[in-house]
């Protein structure tokens, strides 16, 4: 089967991987070089379904629980399984209890246990939550590795195609570009920044709770940290605002004052594609399959949703729809 996959974000690349491993002949259409048009490039890369359960439906946890295993099968050695640490400044301790009451899969840590897990945070927080089964990955490393593997396996990447003729199926994974043409799809803006410092080392993502602006800090290689992310109901993808920059930097400083001397190496804003229920959706109409609406769960849910999309592509039924 010859398949055109539109969009080389995490959705399109996992779909292409799944298609290629099931023997399809895959061509990828992606107009932007270097992931410039992809929300996926700006993601935190947290595979954190228990943390997400605090604000998401149980099905996100059920379908996301095996995400580290699924990624490991696609790209061995790129998943870090060190869990997640959830903290709150002393004035927001009630937020920790509220968070704990809305999810499972955690245990409480005292000050000494926090210091044992993250020596850089010794003496800074009296208690916290640890979610040991969560994991994280570096989205940029993953996207580049997927693209390189697909290219090596014979998948063609092109910036232009003459329409869908000549393909048995088209799988549309163009994310926020479909806002306005895919009913119900909206954008949720996420602003983020990168800091670099040798003063602090973290082994796992840390979520810092706040009643208005919960923030997370995800460690990357070579003393870099991704700080994210705002959640703003707009499809505006322009540069980060001064308010968001201040709030993200404040949170980093609250986690550790040494972040004040870190270098700001990058700021950015991406648009998360979301349906009204915030669940991703796969739909087939004739030979066109659409996978979209990955919201804040693109890395968490792409492998499982890609498998659903490819099942629909290989099915004999010309119509179908799957959600979580
Ligand atoms: C700041 C931030 C932090 C996040 N953190 C996390 C996280 O920690 N964990 C997690 O699981 N998720 C996270 N997410 C969510 C995740 O990034 C998204 O759900 C995911 O990136 C959506 O992937 P996608 O492939 O659908 O869209 P995209 O990554 O946006 O890819 C769509 C691609 O389609 C291309 N395209 C557009 N138009 C066309 C066209 N006409 N033809 C062909 N190609 C086209 C674009 O150039 C782009 O490359 C985060 C998102 C943001 C913004």
pLDDT tens string 177-187: 999 999 999 99
Q: Are strands 107-110 and 215-220 parallel, antiparallel or unpaired?
A: unpaired
Ligand 1 pocket, residue 139 CB under 6 Å: no
Residues of the chain above pLDDT 90, percent: 92
Ligand 1 pocket, residue 273 CB under 6 Å: yes
Cα-to-centroid distance, 298 and ligand 1 (Å): 7
pLDDT at 211 over 80: no
What's phi and psi for 86, nearest 5 deg?
-115, 125
Ligand 1 pocket, residue 67 CB under 6 Å: no
Ligand 1 pocket, residue 189 CB under 6 Å: no
C-beta of residue 250 within 8 angstroms of C-beta of residue 263: no
Average pLDDT over residues 300-307: 98
pLDDT at 304 over 80: yes
Cα-to-centroid distance, 173 and ligand 1 (Å): 9
Cα-to-centroid distance, 88 and ligand 1 (Å): 29
Ligand 1 pocket, residue 297 CB under 6 Å: yes
pLDDT at 152 over 90: yes
Average pLDDT over residues 147-168: 92
Q: Can you list the domains of the chain with their CATH numbers?
A: 2-45+138-184+276-323 (3.40.50.720), 84-132+186-274 (3.30.9.10)
Ligand 1 pocket, residue 45 CB under 6 Å: yes
Q: How far apart are CA 281 and CA 172, in angstroms?
A: 12
Ligand 1 pocket, residue 96 CB under 6 Å: no
Tokens for 42?
């700006």
Pick from 177, 320, 191, 166: which is nearest to 248 by CA? Answer: 191
Q: Are strands 2-6 and 186-196 parallel, antiparallel or unpaired?
A: unpaired
pLDDT tens string 239-269: 999 999 999 999 999 999 999 999 999 999 9
Q: Are strands 288-292 and 169-172 parallel, antiparallel or unpaired?
A: parallel
The secondary structure of 144-202 as a DSSP string is HHHHHHHHHTT-EEES--S-STT-SEEEE--GGGGTTTSTT-EEEEEEEEEEE-SS---
pLDDT at 161 over 90: no
Ligand 1 pocket, residue 204 CB under 6 Å: no
Tell whether omega for the bond before 229 is within 30 degrees of 0, i.e. cis: yes
Ligand 1, residue 230: give the atom nearest the CA: 1
Ligand 1, residue 191: give the atom nearest the CA: 1
Question: How many CB atoms are closer than 10 A to CB 141?
Answer: 14
Three-state DSSP state, 27: strand
pLDDT at position 322? 84
Query: Which residue CA neighbors atom 42 of ligand 1 most closely?
Result: 6
Ligand 1 pocket, residue 296 CB under 6 Å: yes
Q: Cα–Cα distances in Å, from 322 out to 6, 35, 105, 249?
A: 19, 27, 27, 39
Cα-to-centroid distance, 29 and ligand 1 (Å): 15
Ligand 1, residue 268: give the atom nearest the CA: 1
Burial 92-131 (b: 16+ CB within 10 A, else e): beebbeebeeebebbeebeeeebbebbeebeebbebbbbb
pLDDT at position 214? 85
Ligand 1, residue 48: give the atom nearest the CA: 9
């Amino acid at each position: 089967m010859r398949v055109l996959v539109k969009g080389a974000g995490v959705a399109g690349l996992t779909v292409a991987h799944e298609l290629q491993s099931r023997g399809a002949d895959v061509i990828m259409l992606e107009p932007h070089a270097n992931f410039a048009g992809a929300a996926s490039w700006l993601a935190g890369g947290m595979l954190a379904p228990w943390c997400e359960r605090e604000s998401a439906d149980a099905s996100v946890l059920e379908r996301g629980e095996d995400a580290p295993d699924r990624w490991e099968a696609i790209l061995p050695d790129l998943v870090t399984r060190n869990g997640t640490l959830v903290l709150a400044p002393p004035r927001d301790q009630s937020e920790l209890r509220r968070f704990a009451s809305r999810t499972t899969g955690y245990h409480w840590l005292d000050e000494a246990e926090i210091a044992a897990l993250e020596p850089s945070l010794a003496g800074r927080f009296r208690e916290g939550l640890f979610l040991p089964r969560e994991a994280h990955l570096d989205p940029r490393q993953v996207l580049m590795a997927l693209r390189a593997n697909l290219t090596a396996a014979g998948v063609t990447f092109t910036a232009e195609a003459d329409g869908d003729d000549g393909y048995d199926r088209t799988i549309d994974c163009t994310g926020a570009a479909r806002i306005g043409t895919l009913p119900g799809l909206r954008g949720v803006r996420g602003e983020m920044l990168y800091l670099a410092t040798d003063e602090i080392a973290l082994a796992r993502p840390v979520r810092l709770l706040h009643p208005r602006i919960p923030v997370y800090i995800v460690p990357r290689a070579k003393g870099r940290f991704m700080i994210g992310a705002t959640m703003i109901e707009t499809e505006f993808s322009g540069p980060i605002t001064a308010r968001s920059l201040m709030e993200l930097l404040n949170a980093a400083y609250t986690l550790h004052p040494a972040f004040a001397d870190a270098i700001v190496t990058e700021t950015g804003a991406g648009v998360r594609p979301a349906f009204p229920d915030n669940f991703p959706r796969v739909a087939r109409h004739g030979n066109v399959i659409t996978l979209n609406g990955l919201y804040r769960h693109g890395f968490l849910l792409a492998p499982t949703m890609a498998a659903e999309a490819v099942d629909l592509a290989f099915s004999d039924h010309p119509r179908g729809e799957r959600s979580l």
